[in-house]
Structure 1
Amino acid sequence: MPEGHTLHRLARRQQRVFAGQQVHVTSPQGRFLDGADAVDGMVFARAEAWGKHLIQHFRPAHAAAGARAGRRMIHVHLGLYGAFTEAPVPMDAPVGQVRMRMEGTRVGVDLRAPTACELFTPADLDELIARLGPDPLRPDADPTRAVSAIGRSRRPIAALMMDQKVIAGIGNVYRAELLFRASMNPYREGRAVSTDSVEAMWEDLTALMRVGVRRGRIHVVRPEDDHGPGSYAPDRPRTYVYRRAGEACRVCGTTIRVAELEGRNLYWCPTCQP
């Protein structure tokens, strides 16, 4: 599943290629017909991300840029299999199950296999934001909410890091690598982690995710450790522990371990994360 940096990068890309343009929106697959009809012909106002959620904002073509009347929103959650593909306009005939097609002046996108693609009201957006933790990539993020939630919990810190109600946007890669970089045992209870440690992890996470937005890849290995065996996939940078079970730790040489925690694989070094 794409992690938060991917959604912020996607929002920025759509902002660049569609903002201010009147767009043609359809649902070739037929599963989003009403939503596509509701925004077809409107102006793409902006795109933003909240954790792993993408919100597209539209305004009537005749309305001033700052007017709020008649605005519409589409909420997209890519889930495990969802993806946008981009092509120049005019686009070729849709291939496969395209939930939504949006065409601007020069560029169009097809959305396939999302977990969610739906019209949103302001109340829907408020409800979404209320159930999400702070997003490190948003300038309005309040890390004290995450610090407080972790400090009250008996759950393992590794489980809390994946809970979108605690911090929005973290996935399995950032979770594993952040805890390694913090020398944090993944099974330590949240309430046993000091406030200073949580705040330091928040700062590290924010910096790492900003790198992810800029580069389009998750870069987590410090320069002095960026050597040895390659990454877990040919097109990915090296990781410390993620998908490296059975391999030697890049720092201490201990065998990396893996276990299941709340339905997801957890990777860690028992020496570096005592």
Structure 2
Amino acid sequence: MPEGHSVHRIALQFERDFVGHRVAASSPQGRFAEGAAEIDGLTLVEARAVGKQMFLRFENDLWLRIHLGIYGAWDFFGTVSPITSESEALGSMGAPRLRRAVRMAETENTKDVDLESFPPPPVGAVRVRLMTDATVADLRGPTACEVIGADQVATVLARLGPDPVTDNTPEAEDRFVASIRTKPTPVGLLLMDQSIVSGIGNVYRAELLFRARLNPHTPGKNVSEDQVRALWRDWVYLLDIGIRTGMMLTMDGQTPEVEAAARLNRSDRYWVYKREGLPCRVCSTHIVMELMASRKLYWCPNDQA
């Protein structure tokens, strides 16, 4: 499932190439025909991400709310601008040019394509297509895709915990600390609760807890205030790296060789995620995988004892 950094990058892509432009909206698949008709021909005025949810605001104060869920993805074709200077250096987006295709979901994939015509014909089950004169964005497989008003947007946002990108204030940190430390629920579950903190999914949950050397089964109320504040600040730090690079890079402080390998290969990026049965990178104890509330949890039973 795409985590917070991915959704923020998608919102940034819309900000670069769609905001300020009149947008043609359609539903090639047909399942979103009525919603597409509501925003067809309107100018996009804002792209915003909060946690795993993205909101595109059109004129007339109509909002397109998207939650990618497990299988959702956006495909961009045509002029696809770089998001950050670092991402351009890493080659994840490249310089603005035509005949470029970018898939943005849990991970990103960029390639040059030989488009015989623009726009390219939709391929597969495209729920909604948004198009300017130069760029096309096709959405596939979302959990949620709806046109709503400002009041409904406010209702959705009120249910979400703080997102450091949109609210990295002392008050947001205090809210996070209070939410964790007043509950008997295991901290490994609390970090996945989007009403407590927005954007953390399975990967960041496992990596944050290992970096903090916290046992995921520790009740939130038993985690010290200093530890909870450190979790928040580490989430701020890792989320910024993810947005800048397009990767969940959690093994910082490594040698240049290790860092280079991590950027090239996902299996080299993590301390514990998807490393069950392999030796811990710190203590050599075998990493454990278990189910916690039906989601896979990875941790080191020694370093996180």
Could you tell me the TM-score, scaled by structure 1's length? 0.91
1:138 aligns to what? 166
Superposed CA deviations along residues 59-106 of structure 1, whole A, max 9, x for unmatched, are 1xxxxxxxxxx2210000001111110112821221111110011121
Unaligned runs of 5+ in 1: 60-69
Contact map agreement 1:218 1:237 (CA 8 A) in 2: no
Specify which of 236, 244, 247 is matched with residue 278 of structure 2. Answer: 247
2:207 counterpart of 1:177 = yes
SS of residue matched to 2:133: coil
Contact map agreement 1:247 1:255 (CA 8 A) in 2: yes
**Relative to 1, partners in 2 of residues 1:57 and 1:140: Cα closer, same or farther, differing over 3 Å?**
farther
Cα distance, 1:155 vs structure 2 = 0.6
Superposed CA deviations along residues 98-130 of structure 1, whole A, max 9, x for unmatched, are 110011121111101111110111111111111
1:23 aligns to what? 23
Cα distance, 1:237 vs structure 2 = 4.4
Superposed CA deviations along residues 209-247 of structure 1, whole A, max 9, x for unmatched, are 10000000000012337849x77x944542100000111
Cα distance, 1:46 vs structure 2 = 1.4
Runs of 4+ that moved beyond 6 A: none
Q: Matched residues, percent identical?
A: 41
SS of residue matched to 2:254: helix
Corresponding residue pairs, total: 262
1:190 aligns to what? 220
Contact map agreement 2:127 2:141 (CA 8 A) in 1: yes
CA distance in 1, matches of 2:282, 2:57: 46
1:63 aligns to what? none
Could you tell me the TM-score, scaled by structure 2's length? 0.82
CA distance in 1, matches of 2:73, 2:58: 21
CA distance in 1, matches of 2:289, 2:177: 26
**Relative to 1, partners in 2 of residues 1:128 and 1:246: Cα closer, same or farther, differing over 3 Å?**
same
Contact map agreement 1:49 1:55 (CA 8 A) in 2: yes
Unaligned runs of 5+ in 2: 80-117
Specify which of 70, 74, 85 is matched with residue 80 of structure 1. Answer: 70
Structure 2 counterparts to residues 5-154 of structure 1, below 5 A: 5-59=5-59, 70-88=60-78, 90-139=118-167, 142-154=172-184
Q: Partner letter of residue 27 of structure 1?
A: S
CA distance in 1, matches of 2:145, 2:178: 32
SS of residue matched to 2:191: helix
1:204 aligns to what? 234
Contact map agreement 1:217 1:237 (CA 8 A) in 2: no
CA distance in 2, matches of 1:208, 1:234: 18
Q: Partner letter of residue 132 of structure 1?
A: L
CA distance in 2, matches of 1:257, 1:199: 26
Superposed CA deviations along residues 241-273 of structure 1, whole A, max 9, x for unmatched, are 000011111111111111110010111111111
Cα distance, 1:160 vs structure 2 = 0.3
Cα distance, 1:52 vs structure 2 = 0.2
Please provide the CA RMSD for this pair.
Answer: 1.8
CA distance in 1, matches of 2:176, 2:241: 21
CA distance in 2, matches of 1:244, 1:161: 20
